[in-house]
A and B are shown apart, each in its own frame.
Chain A
């Protein structure tokens, strides 16, 4: 089936070459990082995680959101998702691969990565996260590819694939819950030390992931003529809307608990992110932009007429993705490190090398997604 990815028009190859170029620059930046160490990044003693772990957190959400199409289609036999479900699964595969690459990029000794398997430590959440992420990658790749292969031959998919697909549903929830538990169990990091972190992760994932999926179907319609169907998009938009509402509700509860209780350690990170702390306010414009564009997008999505509009829907979806990318991919991780355990405020900004590596990993994900979707569209349209 993979040979279908080797046949494409000029634009397809221009896109592939562009991605290859970005990947190459990422690899070159990574070789610098391997040689000189993580000192080439903006991270340091006080803010010891940065862009990589933040991207990882955001992308776990994108991966988990595949459940929003898999569950209605396979569990509730919701036929309108018939064409979109494979896009969701392949998006999950690419996002999970990016997650794993971001973890690898963040490690000081990636050559020892197998130690996680050699010395399994069930008391460590990282161990579980590596397990569930690898599992999710395989589950989605296998189920998506098998169903697509059967479709190509015009036969029903093999019976063993059904339980695998059902397994992917709780598994999707597990990957983001475990990812939240990475942060939510650390004493002394008060921004993360909250029971609503896992629910918040899931809500923001289902909002941003489904929005991204809607955008993908629109792009596919424009570039390949393959239309997943406007009914599917509308239904997904409703799901994204309420996930978005839930997300902002949960953020609101965080504010209430921190500010009303007036406990300094609980307030500091939020104060730093949204108002600045002791003159340090690098992230303030980002956070307000995220909040405004996110709330604005949710309002647009809540109005049925705008939600159905072919102009407003993609705009609102893009707004929601950007908002949640900033909230999870910038604010949440960096905010957790301010102030430091020794009450110091150190601000972080990524270096060019770090950004090049990040873009490189995104390009690898985009390349995999392009190839997988190329195959899927070719099969679906009987090219």
Chain B
């Protein structure tokens, strides 16, 4: 009700100004206006139509390479406090027994058990973190992304207790002091809220692939719509033996691995 009235008012009052500006810009075509290309997401989104997912081919991942981590953390202004207690991370590399603790461990070949594996938020279809959030500050988006509304988070850290993958980090202190190379295109977070990987929803809206996918020199990661049977990721899932992290918990992760 309020919103409708407000919209109407914006429309009426804005009309004149916009008309003037339109005319002005038409008169001086040399000064071109900023053109942003955005997907047609101005209609109401259909929940569940898209489900973004990622497939990580760990065989191609180079040991010691951290391009994806560096790029993601730079693009999203993830702070680096250089201590474990305050650590904030969106994507990281860890050993086999830590990323897949419930997978077969005994007599596992050194080739597999000795490698590092990428870990990030799984954007679970049945996400425990969104279930426990008391303010819906973390919520399931229409496109399967488990998103954070940093404006609403109260910092109770329930999602951190609920996430079985350790994918969530809390801002124990002001993150701005620990961002060495800030990216101006993306906000930072503030002290007292929880943060995590957003599956690059900020880049998807511009038609770009996630930063980690793009940064990888080996094209280890494939990103796409899991609900589209014709997508590249579905093709790879069809033709490869893949696994998810801790599938026994019923969270239905959207991140898959080829070991």
**Chain A residues at the B interface, C-beta cutoff of 8 Å:** 36-39, 43-46, 48-49, 103, 106-110, 112-113, 115-116, 118-119, 121, 123-127, 130, 182-183, 185-189, 265, 336-337, 340-344, 346
Q: Quick check: is B171 within 8 A (CB to CB) of the other chain?
A: yes
- CB A268 to nearest CB in B, in angstroms, measures 10
A344 cross-chain contacts in B, Cβ below 8 A:
98
Query: Which of the candidate stretches B52-60, B130-138, B226-234 sits at the interface with the other chain?
Result: B130-138
> Could you jot down 15 A-B contacts, CB within 8 Å?
A37-B173, A39-B172, A44-B85, A107-B192, A108-B153, A108-B170, A112-B135, A119-B152, A186-B132, A189-B164, A265-B101, A340-B166, A341-B164, A342-B166, A343-B98
Q: How far is the CB of A272 from chain B (nearest CB, A)?
A: 15
User: Quick check: A116 and B192 within 8 Å, CB to CB?
Assistant: no
Q: Is the CB of A109 within 8 A of B161?
A: no
Question: In the complex, which residues of chain B have a beta carbon less than 8 angstroms from the beta carbon of A119?
Answer: 135-136, 152
The answer to whether A108 and B193 touch (CB under 8 A), given A115-B152, A124-B158, A187-B251, is: yes
List A contacts of B98 (CB < 8 A): 342-344
Q: How far is the CB of A251 from chain B (nearest CB, A)?
A: 22
CB contact under 8 A between A116 and B128, given known A44-B172, A109-B155, A188-B164: no
User: Which residues of B are found within 8 Å of A110, using beta-carbon distances?
Assistant: 154
Q: Are B154 and A113 in contact (CB under 8 A)?
A: yes
In the bound complex, residues from chain A placing their C-beta under 8 Å from that of B173 are 36-39
Residues from chain B with a CB closer than 8 A to the CB of A108 are 153-157, 170-171, 191-194
- The answer to whether A43 touches B192, judged by C-beta atoms less than 8 angstroms apart, is no
Say how far B221's CB is from chain A's closest CB, in angstroms.
Answer: 20
Additional pairs, 11, CB under 8 Å, beyond known A45-B86, A116-B154, A182-B158: A37-B172, A37-B173, A44-B86, A46-B84, A48-B161, A49-B157, A108-B157, A109-B192, A187-B250, A188-B165, A343-B98
B160–A48 touching, CB < 8 Å: yes
B102 touches A265 (CB 8 A): yes
Chain B residues within an 8 Å CB radius of A113: 154
User: Which B residues lie within 8 Å of A49 (CB)?
Assistant: 157, 161
User: Are the CB atoms of B163 and A341 closer together than 8 Å?
Assistant: yes
**Distance of B139 from chain A, by nearest CB (Å):** 9
Q: Is the Cβ of A107 less than 8 Å from the Cβ of B154?
A: yes
For B155, what are the chain A residues with a Cβ–Cβ distance below 8 Å? Answer: 38, 107-109, 112
Alpha-carbon separation in the docked complex, A94 to B170 (Å): 31
Which of A39, A45, A112 is within 8 Å of B84, CB to CB?
A45
Q: Mark B190-207, 1 if CB is under 8 A from A, else 0.
A: 011110000000000000
- Asked if A130 and B192 make an inter-chain contact with CB atoms under 8 angstroms apart, the answer reads no
The 0/1 profile, CB within 8 Å of A marked 1, for residues 60-93 of chain B is 0000000000000000000000001111100000
* Residue in contact with B249 in the complex, picked from A112, A115, A188, A336, CB distance below 8 Å: A188
Residues of chain B within 8 A of A43, CB atoms compared: 172
Q: Closest 3 A-B residue pairs measured CB to CB?
A: A108-B155, A188-B164, A108-B192
Q: How far is the CA of A107 from the CA of B157 in the complex (A)?
A: 8
Q: Is B115 close to A, CB under 8 A? A: no
The smallest C-beta distance from A216 to any residue of chain B, in angstroms, reads: 31
Q: Does B141 contact A (CB under 8 A)?
A: no
Q: How far does the alpha carbon of A43 sit from the alpha carbon of B171 in the complex, in Å?
A: 11
Contact with A along B247-259 (1 / 0, CB 8 A): 0011100000000
Question: B84, B132, B246: which contacts A126 (Cβ < 8 A)?
Answer: B132
With the chains together, A127 CA to B137 CA distance in Å? Answer: 13
Closest A residue by C-beta to B89:
A45
CB within 8 Å for A38 and B172 given contacts A108-B157, A186-B162, A343-B98 = yes
- A183 proximity list for chain B (CB < 8 A): 161
B100 nearest in chain A by CB position: A343
Q: How far is the CA of A126 from the CA of B134 in the complex (A)?
A: 6
Could you say which residues of chain A place their CB within 8 Å of the CB of B87?
Answer: 44-45
Q: Are B133 and A187 in contact (CB under 8 A)?
A: no
Instruction: Give the contacting residue for B165; candidates A36, A45, A341; CB below 8 A.
Output: A341
